[in-house]
Structure formats: C-alpha cells, structure tokens
Structure 1
Amino acid sequence: MSAGTRTYGVLMETLDDIGERTDTNLACLEGEPEPWESRMQVTCECLSKAGALDNLERRHEEDRLGETIYVRFPVRTRSALTVAHALMDRNVFSEADLRRKMAEVRTRLTEE
C-alpha cells in the first residue's frame, strides 16, 4: 500500500467533529466495538479479499499514519482514516468525491 505522507484536508477536518485524542493507552480498545467499527472491518476484509487493499499492509500503514499524520485522532478512528487515505492515494476516489459524499451523509443525518 505504502500510503504517502500527504495529508488530505477532508480527513483532517473531521477532527473538529471527532475531537482531539483523549485515549492515552490501549484500555480505550477494551469493550465491544461500535457498529461502524465492525462494518469498517468487514469492508477492509472485502477489500483485502478482492486484492484492492491488503490487510497486513493496511495495518502497517495504520500504525505508521496513526503515529504521524493522525496522531491527534482517537485510536478507534484511525482505521477509517487510513483506508480513506490509502484509497485516495490509489486514485479510487478523490478528495472532492469524499467531501461531497460526507456532505450528503451529514445532510441525510440532520434530516432524520
């Protein structure tokens, strides 16, 4: 995968929604995962099975990017950030595409 050190504004801006990292140890990973986390893992498994995004490489990149670019983000959000980062690096979708989709979802959620 070898995601670069490029930062994507659309991902960095989510820090305002998520909030700064307050989890300072791995105890934050105890307990049941949130539904979105389970779905994220299933999506990653599907991407790996299809050969689009190898799980082991993704995990290495998650460690690397999580301690550099995404260090201010909570540990549990880093998988989603890393996958989005990697897919944009691979030109699967653009930063503008992701920004549009996120706006769509936010609108839908506020209407509910």
Structure 2
Amino acid sequence: MSEAKPYEVLLDALDAADERTDTALQCGERVPAPWESAMQATCECLSWRGSLDNLERRQAEDRLGETVYSRFPVHARSVVVVAHSLMDRSVIDQDELKSKMKEVRARLERE
C-alpha cells in the first residue's frame, strides 16, 4: 500500500489554536459533541450504502490519524479521515469539500 498524502483542504481546516498538543487520549466521562454523533450516524449510512465500510474507515482512522493527520485533535480525526477516504474514492473532490466547508462556516457565523 502506498503512503497516503494529506489533502490540502483538510490541512487548511486545522487552526493553530486547535492543533493537538496533548500526547494521550483523554478517557472517562466525556460526552460527545453533537457533530460527533451526527458524523457517526452519517458513517453508518455510508457503510450501509457501500460507500465507506466501517471496518475500512476505522483502519484508516488508525493509520492516517496517527500519521498524516496526527496534528488534529484526537476526536476530530475521524471526520478528517472520513473526508480523506471519500476523496480517495472520488465520492467528493477537494473543491466540492472546500465549498461546502465555506457554506457551513458562513452559516455558523450567522448563528
């Protein structure tokens, strides 16, 4: 398997303030953020429809999360890896993702 290269659109999403500085996974009574639950449901649908198998996604999270996207906070890596995997499969492209991210940011700024 060739080494995966990062996608610029994903690296651009990493704000220096959000960059991972810890070295250990925080465990315990952590309550997932609403976006994490929504993303998990989306991943289940992608797996059910055959676009992104759950086992393959988890293996990619392990592989890419600790290498290519290691600077991302631990709990944000899953969404970054899903986006990376969907681009690898040509389900979406970088321009489409960048446009959608811009739309979401604008909507959040209005709220």
Q: Same fold (TM over 0.5)?
A: yes
Q: TM-score, length-normalised on structure 2?
A: 0.90
Give the CA RMSD over aligned residues: 1.9
Amino acid at match of 2:100: K
Q: Distance in 1 between matches of 2:65 and 2:79?
A: 11
TM-score normalised by L of structure 1: 0.89
Q: CA deviation at 1:23?
A: 3.3
Which residues of structure 2 form unaligned runs of 5+?
A: none
Q: Which has the higher contact order (CA 8 A, sep 6+)?
A: 1
8 A Cα contact 2:46 2:53, kept in partner: yes
Amino acid at match of 2:18: G
Partner of 2:14: 15
For residues 64 and 33 of structure 1, the distance between their equivalents in structure 2, rounded to whole angstroms, comes to 22
User: Aligned with 2:15: secondary structure?
Assistant: helix
SS in 1 for 2:61: helix
Report the equivalent of 1:27: 26
Alignment check: 8 A CA contact 2:6 2:69 kept: no
> Between the two proteins, what is the percent identity of the paired residues?
59
Deviation at 1:26, TM superposition (A): 2.1
Closer, same or farther: CA 25–42 of 1 in aligned 2, 3 Å: same
Give the conservation status (yes or no) of the 8 Å contact 1:47–1:53: yes
The answer on 1:51 being equivalent to 2:61 is no
Structure-2 separation of matches of 1:62 and 1:75: 10
Q: How does 1:22-101 map to 2 (within 5 A)?
A: 22-28=21-27, 30-101=29-100
The answer (yes or no) to whether the contact 1:45–1:55 under 8 Å persists in 2 is yes
Aligned residue pair count: 111
Q: Distance in 1 between matches of 2:14 and 2:28?
A: 19
Gaps of 5+ in 1: none
Q: Which amino acid in the other structure matches residue 46 of structure 2?
A: L
How far off its partner does 1:38 sit? 0.7
TM-superposed CA distance for 1:14, in Å, is 1.0
**Regions of 4+ moved over 3 Å:** none
1:31 CA displacement: 1.3
